Structure 1
Amino acid sequence: MHPAPSVIFFTTFSGLGFGLLVWLGLGYPAVTGWTAFVFFAIAYAMAVGGLLASTFHLGRPERAIKAFTQWRSSWLSREAWCAVGALVLMGLYAAGLVFADTRIALLGILGALFSLATVFTTSMIYTQLKTIPRWNMSITPVKFLVLSLAGGALLSGQVQAALILLVVAGVVQGLTWIMGDRALEASGTSLKTATGLGEAGSVRSFEPPHTGTNYLLREFVHEIGRKHSQKLRLISLVLMVGVPFLLLILPFNHFFALLAVISHVAGVLTARWLFFAEAEHVVGLYYGKR
């Protein structure tokens, strides 16, 4: 699929922001006053900034409010409600920490749960799409959740937890690529099923359905060479997991911690670009692009 910058920014930074809110809601780090304000400001800037970015790839952004009406059937709508719930609960929780030096544990725990639920519902927007086998796997939500928690641990200074979660995230990301590479073939979808001519015998693409491009080709058919894909996978793993892990096992230093966060974010952005660029929509079969 076409990797739209707004969606890459949205899925990366909202995941990091809500991941940080999870840790803050659980009391890590145990901060109050203006220190707490800074942590929550960073978390809200990422979470809300990411959510706002998601509206830029909508044809009619002003209609985004209508997403709240379809919660019975739409994961996008459920994401919207979970996000509002998380931001409201964590806002009340933050107010207690910043202005009253008081931690209301129940609010924090509920806010953390809603933050996790927001990341999960975001992942399900993509996981539910059977037309994109690479996304339609049970491991997709696991990847979103682990990366969110790992990024949140880095941002909140939870070094030991971050070391473990970074390794887990690297393993899950690797498994996602391995399983994803086989997903389209394993789905049973082919040019025969795409055209409905399977019963007629062998089917091959003689010419494209039309001479020019169209919306489907622009948005749902994005091809990336295997050589470039493998290089970007390696770069994303090194930046997302390798560099932060090495920096965290060194004696703690605020500058190293900042570099670890920057490297991790760059790695997640690269992996998320691949998440969209490598996604093979089955409509590509009809156009002979798979």
Structure 2
Amino acid sequence: MHPAASVIFFTTASGAGYGILVLLGILVPLGYLPTEPWFGAVTLLLALGLVSAGLLSSTFHLHHPERAWRALSQWRSSWLSREGVAAIVTYGPALLFAFGWIVYGNSIGGWALWGAVAAIMALVTIYSTAMIYASLRTIRQWHHRLVPLVYLTLGLASGAIWLTAISSSFGITNDLVVAVALIFILAGAVIKFIYWSSIDQSVSQSDAGTATGLGHIGTVKQFEAPHTEDNWVMKEMGFQIARKHALKLRKIVGLLAFFIPFICLLGALMDVAPVLAMSWIAALSASIGIVVERWLFFAEAQHVVGLFYGHDHS
């Protein structure tokens, strides 16, 4: 599949924003993060800003962005619609939690309940985003049980890393948030590498015979290309990346998204390196790494329609 910049930005930015929102909704009422209104204003503005920017960018991928609202009506059968509904619903409890925290200076009691609801809805939204791709049987690399876990762990990891960076900028060091970030970075790395290993070892159940419905006759081979030049389907769904380039990009993801952030935050947690510098290096490295990971997620996807154009899906 052709990686669309708008969708890559949407999934990475909103994932980090929702990750921050989950941590704030849970840890602030429990007293593990500062409860001062100014801290709430800064962190919630970052979280909701990332979410809003990501959602807005996703509409750029549509041929008619002005019709995006119509997708919300198909929530009974479409994960895209469910994601949109969940994203909109999340704003309600998130803004109520922000109102109580920032305006009234109260993030416990009834206001804390809105924080918990916002955290749950943030997780639901990330899951719904992942299921847009995981539900597509026509793309082997996406129709995989680990795709939702990848999205959830990377969203929470990036959220925890950015929350650490913002907190340290104000002289606030929270070992719990750093530890949470380390856990999700490690979990994300393990799940992602298992996912890569799985899609490398799996074999496509489709071939030219199943694609044309002529497989019962015998081996089906393409006699001639269906088009003399690339069409929209070939450009968007027939995009392919060389195996050697994919392997290089996977190493870059492992380095930037997982190794560097983990080492930086581990050093900060063990007081062998300055928290401020290490947390910002970790945040920038992880963000770049997750962008590469998401680009590769789309680039490695092979739609079965490519079989009509002679693409090998083995």
TM class by shorter chain equals: over 0.9
Partner of 2:250: 233
Unaligned runs of 5+ in 1: none
Partner of 1:175: 194
* C-alpha RMSD over aligned residues: 1.1
- Taking the aligned partners of 1:266 and 1:256, their CA distance within structure 2 comes to 16
| 1:259 corresponds to which of 273, 277, 281 | 281
- Taking the aligned partners of 2:67 and 2:231, their CA distance within structure 1 comes to 24
CA contact (8 A) 1:9 1:269 kept: yes
Partner of 1:117: 124
Unaligned runs of 5+ in 2: 165-176
- Runs of 4+ with deviation above 3 angstroms: none
Partner of 1:160: 179
Partner of 1:73: 77
CA contact (8 A) 1:27 1:108 kept: no
1:203 and 2:220 aligned: yes
Partner of 1:101: 105
- Taking the aligned partners of 2:99 and 2:292, their CA distance within structure 1 comes to 35
CA contact (8 A) 1:135 1:180 kept: no
- Taking the aligned partners of 1:34 and 1:242, their CA distance within structure 2 comes to 32
Partner of 1:217: 234
- Taking the aligned partners of 1:109 and 1:14, their CA distance within structure 2 comes to 18
- Taking the aligned partners of 1:193 and 1:284, their CA distance within structure 2 comes to 12
CA contact (8 A) 1:134 1:181 kept: no
| 1:190 corresponds to which of 207, 223, 226 | 207
SS of 2:216's partner is: helix
| 2:305 corresponds to which of 274, 283, 287 | 283
Per-residue CA shift, 1:103-162, capped at 9, x if unaligned? Answer: 121111111000000000000100110110110011110110111111111122210111
- Taking the aligned partners of 2:151 and 2:88, their CA distance within structure 1 comes to 19
Per-residue CA shift, 1:232-261, capped at 9, x if unaligned? Answer: 000011100100011111124212111100
Superposed displacement of residue 188, structure 1: 1.3
SS of 1:279's partner is: coil
- Taking the aligned partners of 2:100 and 2:27, their CA distance within structure 1 comes to 13
| 1:42 corresponds to which of 20, 39, 46 | 46
TM-score (norm 2): 0.89
1:272 and 2:294 aligned: yes
